Amino acid sequence: MEARCAVVETWAEFGCPSPGTAAKVIWSGEDVLICTGGDEVSVFNTQELKLTAILQFLSPVCHMVLSEDKQSVYAVCESDGVYCVSLPTLHPKSPTPPADQSPGPALIKVSSNSLAARDEGVCSLIEVGGSGGTLVTVSLRDAAWWFTLYKAADHQKLTQFSLPVVSVGHHVESEENGSAGLVMRPVLACVYSSDAPPLSSSSSSTTTKLPRLSSSLGIKHFLLEPLLFKLLFGVDAALINSPMILCGLPDGRLCSLPLLLPGRSGPCVRVLHSMEQPIMFIGTTTGTNDGPQCLVAVGQWGGVVLVRTCEGGPEEGGKVAALTEGCVSGPVVCVCAGREGLYYSTGSDLLALDLPGVREEAPKPEESLVVSHGERQGQGQAMVRARESATLQSPVSLNVCRVIALAGPSRNASGIVQLVALSLRGRLQRLTLPKGTETGGIPRLPLSQVGQRVRDLLAAIGDVCERASVLKSTIQSKNHSLRHLNQVLNVCCLLLANQNSGEQLPVSKKPIRCHVVAKWSRLLQRDSLNLTCVLDNSSPYILERNWTFCVRVLPLSYPLPAGGENTSQTFSFPFQKLEPGGRMEVSLPLTAAGDTSFPVTVSCSLTYSLQSLLGSEELSRLLANGEPASRLGLEGGWVSLPLDTLTVDWLDALQVTGTTPPHRDPNRPPISPDTVSMDIVEAFVSTRRCRGSGRGDGGGGGERMVASDGGLFSASIKVSTELLRRTLGLEPPGSAGPSQGVCGSVLGWLLSQGTGEEDWRGRGDNGGQESSVVYARCLGRHTVKLTAKEVTVGDTSDKEAVEVRVQCSSMAAVCGLHHAVLSRVQALLQGTASTQESSMGVQGLGLRQALQRAQVLSEHLQEARIPEAIGLGMTTGQTTKTLFSVYRQLRENPLLIL
């Protein structure tokens, strides 16, 4: 069984109600009237939470009810009869002395003047129609139940009806039942047809229209569906809108008495049904699905009778009143009716029972419902008969025990249901029921307010939704940032660890590595050199957005610019998403045609902008908040991780054309006239630029000199064959016959990073064995001839060496290439620095010559510098010429590199 806990709040304590008397609680507006069986009735104010008045009667009060207009209370005293006390007299507003801040409860002695009807036998009563209405009392006298009608105004007896008592043994039974030995009283309720106009009080026009809702607190007046009203009480009562008095007798009979029906033949008091157990409660309810009001009665031993309208049988059709009997576990001590169900106390627990609403199908004649919650009483299985649809739901426990009197319920604006209860110990408690106890616990609103309410609710839902989505996005962006940060840190650690520990880590083993290839491409009749950088990501991390791949190109040697500014260029490529194992290839224009001074250093790095840690939205929000970006430490907040530094030199920029001089090819004029002219112009321009500005004349002279030299400039490098063999891993000469491999291999090695090597290799095989020649176009579109030839160095001992000669018409190209070859060889030598010693003697072979040459050159140099030093005579042209020849001399006769 479903259980919910009601919140119990104890308001006040009264003495223990003496057993055998009926405790009673009436809740009317702000006042709660409590009667515990003594001769006092306490009035408790729910607003101030204190006792405001005590009514003292002459004898013990055994029953009390509120008048329909709630202006007076009727109390039945054991030995006197019915007293009527006007309620407004209990609130003397003005005469209360204001100085007395907390006046105690006013003790009001009810004198015999207030006696409304002297009848010792009155068991129960009800008042209908306010002060102009009727008072109906029920008393047991002479083996009959007497229904006596009094005028409410002056308590004049109008008439009385009787109904013979059927069984007198019920008192004994109830005592056997042991439920505190309560004296059973008849239960009275007044039922109106819900379409009847309110009963206007005839005598006094001052009485306002009475609140005629069953939900109105404190009074037992109910509305009934008009059809059911007609079916139960006849057409006559419906025609004149007579209120019906319903009486549940302790012998279980449910009787009805029309209040406004004179002269009706037959007995006025009609027995509608017999429950065969003392009736504890009569009321109406709409049921859970908010249908028309139906009649409900509850017996002391848990019997529940529900009278509803439903379709008649197939024989007659039409509508009939159907009676559904159910059972909940008793004993029922007290009951009060909610809108859709009942609240009842068994003494050990307070339960809420939802009643079903309308039913469409015809009732089975033998149908009756038994629903019990036997597990509470430990009696085992619930006795539910097979054919019963679960019309009575099982009650919901509210977990409040020892309630002996209930009043209410009231429902506040937020739909919370509250009851007022009196416990066995005499505690006055307010029970706040959990929401949803009464299903569909939406407060009743007038239709006009429903729309407004719905709009409000929707707006509230919208607000909450908006707030939730904002929070969600914030959390998401934070997560996002954290993930990014984590990833950035991971990448940083990875790369920095590489730098620290394994500086010598081979390129191929670096987790993130890049290599650079220079490639010529021809576009729109122009050749351009493009640098292609390939980044390999073999790390386990994804390089996502916000990472940038930066390539910085810096000429190794550059002319001092006029402004002194750095001539480096930085290219950055943002990543889209580079998965582990993926590669990114970027290409950047290195030069259009030789306007860059080679060699250049290419530094690759990964950068990360801290700014991008924050999402763009968050950033904009922060900025919008007025936080300057600098405060956030975002400006210039970069993480830069160097990857690799590479050099691109003249060799890399060579464009191999073949092993034969290009101009011999008849099909392809090597240098078309315009190209040539272009070449010349460009060379001119570039040379001038290289030489720097401000020396225009001299530059021109130099160039002319180059041109006028009639031939080619050349430079050569000699490298020991043995060294080459060793370092390049070539075969020894004798082993595999022809040793053509050395020269070819050397050229191949030198050009391996250049372009067009495949072409060259294809033809190179056909070339001479002892020497290899490669023609290539270099920057500035000069044709370069690279020759590798085996020579023997030294006079005495054969020392084989390979001479690499660079010949070109451009001095700059020769210089650049020479430098490039040298740096290659240097790098080669670095790798094999600690190799075994060769014969040291060999080295001496050319030393003398070399020294001599150097001496000569030194003299040349001195000669060239003297005039300048002394500041006279020689033109710059002459000086340059001299220096140039010295340079050439130096390049022509190199030392052998071992």
Does position 113 interact with other proteins (CB under 8 A)? The reply is yes
Closest distance between other proteins and the C-beta of residue 117, in Å? Answer: 11
Nearer to other proteins, 164 or 711 (CB): 164
Closest distance between other proteins and the C-beta of residue 364, in Å? Answer: 15
Name residues whose C-beta falls within 8 Å of residue 735's C-beta, 6 or more positions apart in sequence: none
Residue from 106, 213, 271, 678 touching other proteins (CB under 8 A): that is 271
Residue from 28, 36, 45, 134 touching other proteins (CB under 8 A): that is 134
Does position 422 interact with other proteins (CB under 8 A)? The reply is no
Nearer to other proteins, 158 or 461 (CB): 158
Nearer to other proteins, 318 or 378 (CB): 318
In degrees and rounded to multiples of 5, residue 818 shows phi and psi of -60, -45
- Alpha-carbon distance of 253 to 259, in angstroms, equals 19
Pick the stretch among 265-273, 409-417, 444-452, 655-663 that binds other proteins (CB under 8 A): 265-273
Angle at 14 between CA 11 and CA 20, to 5 degrees: 130
Does position 824 interact with other proteins (CB under 8 A)? The reply is no
Residue from 97, 178, 263, 737 touching other proteins (CB under 8 A): that is 263
Nearer to other proteins, 312 or 700 (CB): 312
Pick the stretch among 264-272, 471-479, 626-634, 890-898 that binds other proteins (CB under 8 A): 264-272
Nearer to other proteins, 65 or 269 (CB): 269
Amino acid at 251: D
526 bridge partner residues: 523
Count CB-CB contacts under 10 A for residue 862: 10
- Alpha-carbon distance of 188 to 397, in angstroms, equals 27
Does position 234 interact with other proteins (CB under 8 A)? The reply is yes
Picking from 186, 70, 78, 202, the residue whose alpha carbon sits closest to that of residue 137 is 186
Nearer to other proteins, 309 or 429 (CB): 309
Residue from 109, 209, 264, 583 touching other proteins (CB under 8 A): that is 264
Total binding residues toward other proteins, as defined by CB under 8 A: 53
Picking from 759, 755, 777, the residue whose alpha carbon sits closest to that of residue 767 is 759
Helix (H, G, I), strand (E, B) or coil at 713: strand
The answer to whether 129 touches 201, Cβ cutoff 8 Å, is yes
- Alpha-carbon distance of 562 to 553, in angstroms, equals 20
Please give, one letter per residue, the 3-state secondary structure of 799-830. Answer: EEEEEEEEEECCHHHHHHHHHHHHHHHHHHHH
Pick the stretch among 46-54, 126-134, 345-353, 645-653 that binds other proteins (CB under 8 A): 126-134
What is the side-by-side strand order in the sheet with 403-411?
A: 7-13, 427-432, 417-423, 403-411
Closest distance between other proteins and the C-beta of residue 34, in Å? Answer: 29
- Taking only Cα atoms into account, the Rg of the chain, rounded to an integer number of angstroms, comes to 58
Does position 142 interact with other proteins (CB under 8 A)? The reply is no
First to last CA, the chain: 101
Between the CA atoms of 84, 90, 93 and 99, what dihedral angle is there, to the nearest 10 degrees? 150
- Alpha-carbon distance of 598 to 588, in angstroms, equals 16
Nearer to other proteins, 72 or 740 (CB): 72
In degrees and rounded to multiples of 5, residue 700 shows phi and psi of -60, -35
Exposed e or buried b per residue across 217-240, where buried means at least 16 C-beta atoms within 10 angstroms of its C-beta: bbbbbbbbbbebbbbbbbeebbee
Does position 112 interact with other proteins (CB under 8 A)? The reply is yes
Q: What is the DSSP code (8-state) at residue 543?
A: B
Residue from 159, 490, 576, 797 touching other proteins (CB under 8 A): that is 159
Does position 659 interact with other proteins (CB under 8 A)? The reply is no
Tokens of 346: 């068994």
Does position 273 interact with other proteins (CB under 8 A)? The reply is yes
127 bridge partner residues: 135
Count helices and strands in the chain by DSSP H and E runs? 14, 43
Picking from 818, 784, 793, 789, the residue whose alpha carbon sits closest to that of residue 803 is 789
Pick the stretch among 32-40, 267-275, 530-538, 696-704 that binds other proteins (CB under 8 A): 267-275
Pick the stretch among 45-53, 234-242, 423-431, 475-483 that binds other proteins (CB under 8 A): 234-242
Does position 236 interact with other proteins (CB under 8 A)? The reply is yes
Q: Please, which of residues 290-329 interact with other proteins by CB under 8 A?
A: 307, 312, 315-323
Does position 158 interact with other proteins (CB under 8 A)? The reply is yes
Does position 259 interact with other proteins (CB under 8 A)? The reply is yes
Between the CA atoms of 535, 540, 543 and 544, what dihedral angle is there, to the nearest 10 degrees? 150
Q: Please, which of residues 195-224 interact with other proteins by CB under 8 A?
A: 199-200, 202-203
Nearer to other proteins, 105 or 234 (CB): 234
Count CB-CB contacts under 10 A for residue 623: 14
Nearer to other proteins, 361 or 503 (CB): 361
Residue from 50, 171, 270, 761 touching other proteins (CB under 8 A): that is 270
Name residues whose C-beta falls within 8 Å of residue 348's C-beta, 6 or more positions apart in sequence: 376, 401, 402
- Alpha-carbon distance of 871 to 516, in angstroms, equals 48
Nearer to other proteins, 199 or 812 (CB): 199
Does position 633 interact with other proteins (CB under 8 A)? The reply is no
Closest distance between other proteins and the C-beta of residue 190, in Å? Answer: 14
The answer to whether 64 touches 41, Cβ cutoff 8 Å, is yes
Does position 272 interact with other proteins (CB under 8 A)? The reply is yes
Pick the stretch among 94-102, 261-269, 280-288, 710-718 that binds other proteins (CB under 8 A): 261-269
Residue from 5, 107, 144, 240 touching other proteins (CB under 8 A): that is 240
Closest distance between other proteins and the C-beta of residue 99, in Å? Answer: 36
Closest distance between other proteins and the C-beta of residue 265, in Å? Answer: 4
Nearer to other proteins, 312 or 434 (CB): 312
Chain-centre distance for alpha carbon 309: 51
Does position 265 interact with other proteins (CB under 8 A)? The reply is yes
- Alpha-carbon distance of 475 to 482, in angstroms, equals 10
Nearer to other proteins, 202 or 389 (CB): 202
Amino acid at 598: F
Nearer to other proteins, 167 or 797 (CB): 167
- Alpha-carbon distance of 78 to 674, in angstroms, equals 136
Does position 129 interact with other proteins (CB under 8 A)? The reply is yes
The answer to whether 570 touches 586, Cβ cutoff 8 Å, is no
- Alpha-carbon distance of 862 to 541, in angstroms, equals 61
Residue from 183, 227, 678, 815 touching other proteins (CB under 8 A): that is 227
Nearer to other proteins, 265 or 630 (CB): 265
Nearer to other proteins, 133 or 302 (CB): 133
Closest distance between other proteins and the C-beta of residue 212, in Å? Answer: 14
- Alpha-carbon distance of 560 to 557, in angstroms, equals 9
Residue from 133, 338, 409, 426 touching other proteins (CB under 8 A): that is 133
Nearer to other proteins, 240 or 856 (CB): 240
Closest distance between other proteins and the C-beta of residue 328, in Å? Answer: 22
Picking from 623, 576, 616, 624, the residue whose alpha carbon sits closest to that of residue 477 is 616
Closest distance between other proteins and the C-beta of residue 81, in Å? Answer: 10
Residue from 53, 90, 232, 553 touching other proteins (CB under 8 A): that is 232
Angle at 534 between CA 533 and CA 536, to 5 degrees: 145
Closest distance between other proteins and the C-beta of residue 262, in Å? Answer: 5
Residue 314 preceded by cis peptide, ω within 30: no
Does position 230 interact with other proteins (CB under 8 A)? The reply is yes
User: Could you list the residues that contact other proteins (CB under 8 A)?
Assistant: 112-113, 115, 118, 129, 133-134, 149, 151, 158-159, 164, 199-200, 202-203, 226-227, 230-232, 234-236, 238-240, 253, 259-260, 262-268, 270-274, 307, 312, 315-323
